């Protein structure tokens, strides 16, 4: 895929499946050529989420599209739902857990890019090529 796309559809990019969710990076250096930030959609299944972790070199923004969950940033924990945004500074521990019966969808933005590539390279990540989707 050329790294100069300006209009990106979900079918244009690979799907990454982990035991806690599914991700599609719609803006990343290898998709659009972006150098300042990456962005993608994350779907957490009911009761699923990711453990506390950090991104030492990137700030992160999460914008919640649908569903409900619990967001922890450092020692602060809050309920989150559609229309809310959270900011996570570089190097600060955080986690997101779906607390509802339906999928929790949110957009994740990293500045600068990098964590999206680290997630893709995890041993437990299964990568599906553009246009191919995992069975639910």
* Per-residue pLDDT tens over the stretch 80-125: 999 999 999 999 999 999 999 999 999 999 999 999 999 999 999 9
* Per-residue pLDDT tens over the stretch 4-59: 889 999 999 999 999 999 999 999 999 999 999 999 999 999 999 988 999 999 99
Is 80 exceeded by the pLDDT of residue 135? no
Residue 2 binned pLDDT confidence (cut-offs 50, 70, 90): low
Secondary structure of the chain in HEC code, one letter for each residue: CCCCCCCCCHHHCCEEEECCEEEEEEECHHHHCCCCCEEEEEEECCCCEEEEECCCCCEEEEEEEECEEEEEECCEEEEEECCCEEEECCCCCEEEEECCCCCEEEEEEEECCCHHHHHHCCCCCEEECCCCCCCC
Report yes or no: 89 and 96 within 8 Å, Cβ to Cβ: no
pLDDT of residue 136: 64
CATH domain 12-128 topology:
Jelly Rolls (2.60.120)
Among 14, 20, 73, CA closest to 46: 20
* Per-residue pLDDT tens over the stretch 7-22: 999 999 999 999 999 9
């Amino acid at each position: 895929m050329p790294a100069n796309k300006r209009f990106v559809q979900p079918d244009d990019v690979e799907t990454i499946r982990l035991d806690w969710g599914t991700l599609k990076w719609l803006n990343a250096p290898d998709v659009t050529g972006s150098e300042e930030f990456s962005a993608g959609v994350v779907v957490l299944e009911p009761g699923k989420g990711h453990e506390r972790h950090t991104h030492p070199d990137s700030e992160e923004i999460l914008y919640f599209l649908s569903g409900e969950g619990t967001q922890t940033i450092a020692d602060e924990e809050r309920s989150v739902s559609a229309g809310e945004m959270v900011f996570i500074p570089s190097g600060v521990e955080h986690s997101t857990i779906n607390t509802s019966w339906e999928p929790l969808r949110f957009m994740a933005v990293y500045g600068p890019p990098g964590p999206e590539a680290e997630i893709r390279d995890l041993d437990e990540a299964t990568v599906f090529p553009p246009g191919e989707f995992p069975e639910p």
